[in-house]
Structure 1
């Protein structure tokens, strides 16, 4: 129904073939977008580069968002190679394990600061860098989780962190709307990704979500990708600031 042919899309957060970011990259490419895909570091590159190459990514670059020089280099390369950007997908989060597995009450200030910087601050930074490249408008997306809204067992400090991410999404959507730049947050149900594996009792969380959701099905990275591709399209040009649940209706149940 829609085409992304000719669009230039940056996808940040691909770790392997189960990543939400990879599902988004697949869908964007399937609809015709040209891709730039990043990998975290040299250890991650052997897992990410073959996936990016299989999708025909025109730009494959390292990006540790905790290193400002890498952000600078990435956007310099995008500017030189493309001269513009239409879509940004941000699907990264981090929290030190000792803080992630403990109570919010016990979270260290340093752990909270790092989780906020990597999970939220990096999205704000990437959107700021993307803004001048989106002269004709564009779409910026990040990934949240239901634990931002309600208390979810074992999600712990990432709940408040994702709440901040959702709030930042709304504020940036309001600020950038006059420039036709849309900002969204996708909120999939539990997905068995590498990042999710760090959450305690995650298998139990997935089973409970599947049982409670009206469809009795977990979301997939393909579901996330399909929605992301739609949001990147011209057909979604008047949508912004949304928190989009992709969870089989889990969020509507008590």
Structure 2
């Protein structure tokens, strides 16, 4: 049985950059559907090479035709980023946004999550080194001696390098990059640009629908009203030191961070 499909596009991200908010905001009645971290893509990533033949048929199911919807935007978990080339090969008409933000808000989000956030940052570093690693000339002892925020910062740096390579790859005509902080300050403009990338032009009704989008009222992950959080002085100082350290590494390997925005 053949599945009727809609245009399906991707939002890949480096975590803690408002990608969940963007996916929610793309749930626009009568226009588009935004999917945030469907579990099946995470399963594909953990399944390794044996799962790759399943990518194309599963993307067909995610993009199956729905009444009154013109396109589907899928935001996988960042732990599936190693699948980006395979996903783009399986979906040759897909347009893609690589979403990131500066390292400081990324590390603030890691710190806010306490012990589990710190553990997550270290695991992400190990994960990124497995498929997008850079020889940093660090011995195992030096790597073990890194602070949690240094490890998380290096994971962010490896993601920047990976996204930079993707943006210059044979997929480059289908890829745009987006700064999450810019999106937060220019939400309507960003969503219009992303819809345009996917071949959707909003009429006046659609723009009014977008202006009243309920996704912007609550916390995108927790569903509760947004409450600003404070970062203590010592955390600011530590993050500033890690940021300076990453700048030195980026300069040594000839990398510009963060990756330059190209969506707008």
Q: Report if TM-score (shorter chain) is over 0.5.
A: no
Structure having the higher strand fraction is 1
The TM-score by the shorter chain falls in which range? 0.3 to 0.5
Q: Which has the larger radius of gyration?
A: 2
